[in-house]
Structure 1
Amino acid sequence: MFDIPINLVLGQAVLGLVNGVFYALLSLGLSVIFGLLGVINFAHGAFYMLGAFVAWILLNYLGIGYWPALVIAPLIVGALGLVIEVVFIRFLYKLDHLFGLLLTLGLALIAEGTMRAIFGPQGLPYNIPDVLKGAINLGFMYLPIYRAWVVVFGLVVCLLTWAVIELTPLGAKLRAATENAPMVQSFGINVPVMLTLTYGAGVALAALGGVLAAPIYSVDPFMGTNIVIVVFAVVVIGGMGSLLGSIVTGIGLGVIEGFTKAVFPEASSTVIFLVMVIVLLTRPAGLFGKSA
């Protein structure tokens, strides 16, 4: 019934792995913000989009190429996140999650509309760095070197972020601050500043994903909207606030999505949401989440 070349299946699975790294990177930032701050950051896709636009602006207006942009763009967008946290987000910590979702949705729409008004709705190209051009022969497909770089670098960033939060004294302080802020404050730690920096770090992760995506996808105002719904599904499946769940689930679902494109293309755009429904029915807290 399914007379599908194995090379096609393997090739789509590998390409799905690339998408999975983007899902993992963005859902990790979402999980950092929700897990440590309790805010459902619907503007996460907008920060991803802004990261790509900042990289494009740096290249086309200032002549600053891809490699510096990997650092500069996340820092710029992360700094914007710091301002947003101080002006808006910090007043939501004791309110229902719905208020945070609605506020950040509004911020996302403002960012998208602003970029569309300035640059137009069309996609803008961003060239792959010369050193990452070409392809690797995997036997069953030629994998672009740039996409291989995205997989390796994205995984390293994800694992380092997880290690910092879960295995270091700084991460322990962050987790303690979210559980009992007055106690942590009594040790001389400035909890509000720590939470502000945490939000900025989560936003910077999204912006980094945008820089990585710029040479693969066109840089356009809608790129964040196109991915954020899928990323939210990844976070729900992995478990809200679970960093490890975000990484494993993001990569796994990317591969499943790629495999589905080869076997049953009509279902590739919905398979992640089908998995989400099944997980919510069988394990409402998510695969890696803690049951109440």
Structure 2
Amino acid sequence: MNIYLLQAINGIGIGMLYFLLAVGLSIVFGLLRFVNFAHGAFYLLGAYFCYQMTRWGLSFWLALAVVPLVVGALGWLTEKLVLRHVYASPHEFHILVTVGLALAVQELVILQWGPLGDSVPVPDLLQGVVMWGGIVYPKYRLFVIGFTAVLALILWYVLEGTRLGSAVRAGSESTEMVSLLGLNVFRIFSLVFALGAATAAIAGVLAAPMRGAEPFMGIEALGVAFIVVVVGGMGSFFGALIGGLLIGVVQSVMSTVWPEGARLMIYIAMAAVLLLRPHGLLGRKG
């Protein structure tokens, strides 16, 4: 029984990382109606920038503070210089541009760091395990659960208790409404896109000590993020949270019950949700 409880706790940690990955994608879609296939590239950059900083002898904690700011700034520049000019284009063009950006980032990573993965050490403070009854659990994974829970609360406050959050919620209903209120719509777009890139980078930094950094992790992350967003509902903050936790727990528990089919069960869970709720658990029609 302990093994399933352990895997459920492990799934919560993985699910919170999935939430960080998906929430930016979901918010960007809710405001801009723009599906960003380059989102996984920010996760990839987060992991590799963390790896590079630890390779320079800098601390993991400094990487956790600095890397999301750097990647968020790159996301802001990407939106301002490239994506802003294609919003009015057909969705097929959105896909071509963002997929091209993702592939370009992936190839640049391979040129800089090589095609093979690299490991990132767990910070000294979080090495070892915690023993609780008959359960032994790594300290680092407990930190990931706690840290991402605090981040989720901060993001919730930003979206629910600040002027930016009010503008994002209003924009998810009608961007014209935001313009009529006298707000700079394009500035809000840039800030939201930067926030999405930064949260994906945080997920990359946190994932690096658990799985290392490798050039193709962005593609995998993008696939999982889309599954979480579809399950939770496009444009929903709490949908991304619930969807991330659901997918994380299903994947983790099934890796014990049926290791070969753990990833398959993610898609089965998504199909089951869509059969019952075609717009996702907390999604809205239209």
- Scaled by the length of structure 2, what TM-score is found? 0.94
Q: State whether structure 2 residue 110 is matched by structure 1 residue 116.
A: yes
1:118-197 alignment runs, 5 A limit: 118-197=112-191
Q: State whether structure 2 residue 43 is matched by structure 1 residue 48.
A: yes
Q: State whether structure 2 residue 194 is matched by structure 1 residue 207.
A: no
Closer, same or farther: CA 114–29 of 1 in aligned 2, 3 Å? same
User: Which residue in the other structure is 1:36 paired with?
Assistant: 31
- Give the conservation status (yes or no) of the 8 Å contact 1:31–1:235: yes
Mapped partners of 2:165, 2:223: distance in 1? 28
User: Which residue in the other structure is 2:268 paired with?
Assistant: 274
Deviation by residue 1:183-208 (Cα, 9 ceiling, x = unmatched): 53454432211211110110010001
> Residue 216 of structure 1 aligns to a residue in which SS?
helix
**Deviation of the 1:288 alpha carbon:** 0.6
Mapped partners of 1:64, 1:144: distance in 2? 23
Q: Which amino acid aligns with 2:22?
A: S
Q: What RMSD, in angstroms, separates the aligned Cα atoms of the two structures?
A: 1.7
Which consecutive residues of structure 1, in runs of 5 or more, have no partner in the other structure? 1-5
Mapped partners of 1:101, 1:245: distance in 2? 23
**Where do 4+ consecutive residues of structure 1 move more than 6 Å?**
none
Moved more, 211-220 or 182-191: 182-191
Mapped partners of 1:34, 1:183: distance in 2? 17
> Residue 209 of structure 2 aligns to a residue in which SS?
coil
1:218-237 alignment runs, 5 A limit: 218-237=212-231
- Give the conservation status (yes or no) of the 8 Å contact 2:172–2:235: no
Q: Which amino acid aligns with 2:20?
A: L
Q: Which amino acid aligns with 2:117?
A: G
Moved more, 117-126 or 181-190: 181-190
Mapped partners of 1:170, 1:226: distance in 2? 31
Deviation by residue 1:140-197 (Cα, 9 ceiling, x = unmatched): 3311101000011112112321221133332112232454445534544322112111
Closer, same or farther: CA 97–175 of 1 in aligned 2, 3 Å? farther
Moved more, 159-168 or 100-109: 159-168
User: Which residue in the other structure is 1:12 paired with?
Assistant: 7
Closer, same or farther: CA 190–88 of 1 in aligned 2, 3 Å? same
Tell me how many residue pairs correspond in the alignment: 286
> Residue 210 of structure 2 aligns to a residue in which SS?
coil
Mapped partners of 1:182, 1:238: distance in 2? 26
Q: State whether structure 2 residue 23 is matched by structure 1 residue 23.
A: no
User: Which residue in the other structure is 1:3 paired with?
Assistant: none
- Give the conservation status (yes or no) of the 8 Å contact 2:231–2:280: yes
Which consecutive residues of structure 2, in runs of 5 or more, have no partner in the other structure? none
- The one of 94, 99, 106 equivalent to 1:100 is 94
Mapped partners of 2:17, 2:147: distance in 1? 11
Q: Which amino acid aligns with 1:23?
A: Y
- Give the conservation status (yes or no) of the 8 Å contact 2:144–2:206: yes
Closer, same or farther: CA 182–230 of 1 in aligned 2, 3 Å? closer
**Deviation of the 1:29 alpha carbon:** 1.3
- Give the conservation status (yes or no) of the 8 Å contact 2:11–2:253: yes
- Scaled by the length of structure 1, what TM-score is found? 0.92
Mapped partners of 2:105, 2:37: distance in 1? 12
Closer, same or farther: CA 41–219 of 1 in aligned 2, 3 Å? same
- The one of 75, 78, 84 equivalent to 1:84 is 78
